[in-house]
Chains A and B, each alone.
Chain A
């Protein structure tokens, strides 16, 4: 359990490398006291060798020694020890490897060793050693000059603090200057107080808890509010008050989070449905392969990521910027080819088009499956989209979702500008309203059809790029969005941007808001019933163009 907690806070090699890079950068300005201490106890590398000692007591002693040194360069090795990633060579030298790869690295610099030493085996650790190692790790990190490292360490400590740790934390709190870290440390201390059996301390802890208002202490508050575990009525009353405050706050946070999720889900739906609405309005055909354009866009993103990782590792963080135009180009091309080879022969036969495009989607899915495999592929967020901005306690708005919302807004604006402000857009609107009249006026409807179908697919491709930043990318990706995007078209009406925007955001929000009350499935069913009822009132959608010939 401890081990798992630890891993969750520090998910991977990349984050670890970053963290370490930050540490390395400050080695040059290390304080003289610490340098002296380090010198006194021999080189770090030698001390670290003690971690691989066969005797558990020796390992514990080494850990204590490392704690006294307080040298952040020991952190990777201790972490590796806890995660079973520490290796020891035949001569006693230690190495580590990043999770899921077997290349041995230097325990301090993290560099891959060339040539790779042979005969290394894994260092055995038991939970007892882990228990000792965790606070050592946190303590070293509390001394780190980097604010983010201290914050992580404080938060890690929040989940496990013993009596002996409290004093250290108080000391750390006193010299701490960053408000964020201070808060995290205060939280740890409050929990420590709440868990004590002394009513005075409990009350002090409750006061702090009330001020912080964080859900992290909820379990303690619940315990104190129950009569069985706290005999003191004052404590009980205070705890109840604090609990109510925390719960109210949490409800608010949950709601805002749900709204935010709903908007971001709606943005994806919007990108998926925009193209569908435009082509349906213009051509009167339903493109069942539209969802596969999302999928193609997402796979294009994946491919770009792979190419960057392989050939331009230095520029990986910018892969997304390259993926956007590429995904757009690929899906637009796919759309144009589709229109030229199949769809244009089926105009005026919407039901047949539906089936033919379904056939196309099957072919696309199978092709992607053969090329990329049936499993989901991993598309990682670039560094600048990881993490999020914490608006309030427990309310973190992830950057990737914010980016998706912004992206959808930009694309929608672009489509609007294209339709309303360009010559092509004017022609598109003319053809949508009255095809034969537009043709009489010299508009090449054939060409318009082709480009708009391509554009619709291209927008879906952009949706695929956005989608790849939020969730899994697999061959069946498109299938799960196609029904929702059809719903958007049905509700929003065709050929009107405002309708699509309102419908997709509305659907996204309703989905997310209903979910906590009814569960995801009943929410979906409720949405469907709402839509059917809605169509009863307005068969042409929310913002329909009024036509005379409509039967």
Chain B
């Protein structure tokens, strides 16, 4: 039994790989919080508070990159709609945060401010229950999951694949964005949901809450990574890879490829929704622009830069691109889009396996 477990672990990673994962996890989840929370402010080693939500954001992006890589890198499905799942998870969290400040808005009403503004008298049915954190979390994960399941069921059943699938997911996201822009949809229209104050009773502005959210994001990323790793090294993962490379042959071998795709598609959507739910309390706002087609495409480029089919590469790619974005948009605002655009082109032309692929190649040459 123990031996089984051990060999399964070794299937997921070599001992050195485990060491690396452990190292990065310790750094992110142990050392970094320590340097923020315990090391005194006066010390030069202290990590300033304002960086914590930024890093937390990166962790969430890393998680959504994992989700995109899982289906793109391992099942060959390029989704241009993961921004939708990310935003839906975020909206569910945002709805909880809005409900938790009921009565403290500008109008002192039990309804969120924008509803008062629209002259609504009572909460729409889909807002009910969001006062409770567990319900909201369940909705954040199951709502997008259900949407992904239904959409995937129809799409995979009718064998929509390749660019067709990408385009249809993009259109879905676009339509959802238009819907959420509507005031009548009941999600705050243009402005979205914002002015959050506290989560589970803890004030969102306080450094300790922020640190806790950061750690939660880090844990989610770690668990998400391990789950994905487990998945892709399992038998199911191998079937998926086979589907990616030769779907027709897999079907002829007696596997119903649709089921495999549907499962991993839904799982990926849930991962992405989790990332969105963790993202919102750290940035303090969720609005429909998160569903812009460009956001979803950016997620794909994180994965492409990091390395399609390499989970750690995808996370790295997300950090790299977003780090670059944070720095460049401040330092050279007009250059950022060029850099982003160029990275799309350079990676597809010269680094088809991304940085992870390039690294593997280099390492091999070095070993020789």
- Which residues of A come within 8 Å of B, CB atoms? 286, 342, 345-346, 349-356, 358-363, 365-366, 370, 479, 483, 486-487, 490, 519-522, 524-525, 528, 531-533, 535-536, 539, 551
Contact between chains at A535 and B168 (CB < 8 Å)? yes
Q: Which residues of A contact B348 (CB under 8 A)?
A: 346, 349, 352-353, 355-356, 359
Closest 10 CB pairs of A and B: A359-B344, A362-B341, A363-B341, A366-B337, A359-B341, A356-B348, A352-B348, A521-B178, A536-B158, A525-B175
Cα distance, A487 to B171, chains bound together (Å): 8
Nearest residue (CB) in A for B297 is: A358
Chain B facing A: main interface SS: helix
Q: Which residues of B contact A365 (CB under 8 A)?
A: 337
Contact between chains at B345 and A351 (CB < 8 Å)? no
CB distance from B368 to the nearest CB of A (A): 28
Cα distance, A350 to B300, chains bound together (Å): 14
27 A–B pairs (Cβ distance < 8 Å), ordered by A: A286-B163, A286-B166, A342-B349, A346-B348, A349-B348, A350-B163, A351-B78, A351-B163, A352-B304, A355-B301, A356-B344, A356-B348, A358-B301, A358-B341, A360-B344, A360-B345, A361-B341, A362-B341, A362-B344, A363-B341, A487-B167, A490-B167, A521-B175, A525-B175, A528-B171, A528-B175, A535-B158
CB distance from B96 to the nearest CB of A (A): 26
- Interface members, chain B 260-297 (any A CB < 8 Å): 293-294, 297
Cα distance, A472 to B164, chains bound together (Å): 30
Q: Given that A366-B338, A536-B158 are contacting pairs, would A354 and B349 also be in contact in the complex, using a CB cutoff of 8 Å? A: no
User: Per-position contact with A for B151-172: 1 when CB-CB < 8 Å, else 0?
Assistant: 1001101111011101110111
Q: Which residues of B contact A519 (CB under 8 A)?
A: 182
**Set B158, B176, B179, B345: member contacting A359, Cβ < 8 A:** B345
Contact between chains at B163 and A355 (CB < 8 Å)? no
Contact between chains at B164 and A366 (CB < 8 Å)? no
Q: Which residues of B contact A486 (CB under 8 A)?
A: 167, 170-171
Q: Which residues of B contact A528 (CB under 8 A)?
A: 171-172, 175
Q: Which residues of B contact A483 (CB under 8 A)?
A: 167, 170-171, 174, 293
Contacts between chains A and B (CB distance < 8 A), count:
119
Contact between chains at B159 and A539 (CB < 8 Å)? yes
Q: Which residues of A contact B172 (CB under 8 A)?
A: 528
CB distance from A173 to the nearest CB of B (A): 48
Contact between chains at A356 and B345 (CB < 8 Å)? yes
Contact between chains at B342 and A532 (CB < 8 Å)? no
Cα distance, A525 to B171, chains bound together (Å): 9
Cα distance, A536 to B160, chains bound together (Å): 9
- A349-B352, A354-B78, A483-B167 are known; give 8 further A-B pairs, CB within 8 A: A286-B166, A351-B163, A358-B341, A359-B345, A483-B174, A519-B182, A531-B168, A532-B168
Contact between chains at B304 and A355 (CB < 8 Å)? yes
Q: Which residues of A contact B163 (CB under 8 A)?
A: 286, 350-351, 354
CB distance from B265 to the nearest CB of A (A): 15
Cα distance, A345 to B349, chains bound together (Å): 7
Any A CB within 8 A of the CB of B181: yes
Q: Which residues of B contact A345 (CB under 8 A)?
A: 349
Nearest residue (CB) in B for A486 is: B167
Cα distance, A363 to B151, chains bound together (Å): 32
Q: Which residues of A contact B168 (CB under 8 A)?
A: 490, 531-532, 535
Any A CB within 8 A of the CB of B334: yes
Cα distance, A464 to B91, chains bound together (Å): 37
CB distance from B245 to the nearest CB of A (A): 13
Interface-central residue, B151, B160, B178, B343, by most chain A CB under 10 Å: B178
Q: Which residues of B contact A342 (CB under 8 A)?
A: 345, 349
CB distance from B292 to the nearest CB of A (A): 9
Q: Which residues of A contact B158 (CB under 8 A)?
A: 535-536, 539
Q: Which residues of B contact A359 (CB under 8 A)?
A: 301, 340-345, 348
Cα distance, A412 to B334, chains bound together (Å): 38
Any A CB within 8 A of the CB of B248: yes
Contact between chains at A524 and B342 (CB < 8 Å)? no
Nearest residue (CB) in B for A528 is: B175
Q: Which residues of A contact B181 (CB under 8 A)?
A: 521
Contact between chains at B178 and A366 (CB < 8 Å)? no
Nearest residue (CB) in A for B247 is: A551
**Set A355, A360, A361, A531: member contacting B300, Cβ < 8 A:** A355
User: Per-position contact with A for B287-322: 1 when CB-CB < 8 Å, else 0?
Assistant: 000000110010011001000000000000000000
Contact between chains at B352 and A352 (CB < 8 Å)? yes
Contact between chains at B179 and A363 (CB < 8 Å)? no
Contact between chains at B297 and A356 (CB < 8 Å)? no
Cα distance, A531 to B171, chains bound together (Å): 10
Q: Given that A350-B162, A535-B158 are contacting pairs, would A355 and B167 also be in contact in the complex, using a CB cutoff of 8 Å? A: no
User: Per-position contact with A for B170-195: 1 when CB-CB < 8 Å, else 0?
Assistant: 11101110110110000000000000
Contact between chains at A351 and B162 (CB < 8 Å)? yes
Contact between chains at A539 and B160 (CB < 8 Å)? yes
- Interface members, chain B 336-364 (any A CB < 8 Å): 337-338, 340-345, 347-349, 352
Contact between chains at A363 and B349 (CB < 8 Å)? no
Cα distance, A483 to B167, chains bound together (Å): 8
Nearest residue (CB) in A for B155 is: A532
Q: Given that A286-B163, A346-B348, A532-B155 are contacting pairs, would A366 and B342 also be in contact in the complex, using a CB cutoff of 8 Å? A: no
CB distance from B296 to the nearest CB of A (A): 11
Q: Which residues of A contact B248 (CB under 8 A)?
A: 551
Cα distance, A279 to B158, chains bound together (Å): 24
Q: Which residues of A contact B162 (CB under 8 A)?
A: 350-351
Nearest residue (CB) in A for B352 is: A352
Q: Which residues of B contact A535 (CB under 8 A)?
A: 158, 160, 164, 168
CB distance from A115 to the nearest CB of B (A): 42
CB distance from B323 to the nearest CB of A (A): 19
Q: Which residues of B contact A479 (CB under 8 A)?
A: 293-294
Q: Which residues of A contact B338 (CB under 8 A)?
A: 362-363, 366
Nearest residue (CB) in A for B334 is: A370
Cα distance, A362 to B337, chains bound together (Å): 6
Q: Which residues of A contact B155 (CB under 8 A)?
A: 532
Cα distance, A532 to B175, chains bound together (Å): 13
Interface-central residue, A286, A366, A521, A535, by most chain B CB under 10 Å: A521
Q: Which residues of A contact B151 (CB under 8 A)?
A: 532
Q: Which residues of A contact B178 (CB under 8 A)?
A: 520-521, 524-525
Q: Which residues of B contact A356 (CB under 8 A)?
A: 344-345, 348-349
CB distance from B321 to the nearest CB of A (A): 12
Interface-central residue, B172, B175, B179, B338, by most chain A CB under 10 Å: B175
Cα distance, A350 to B165, chains bound together (Å): 12
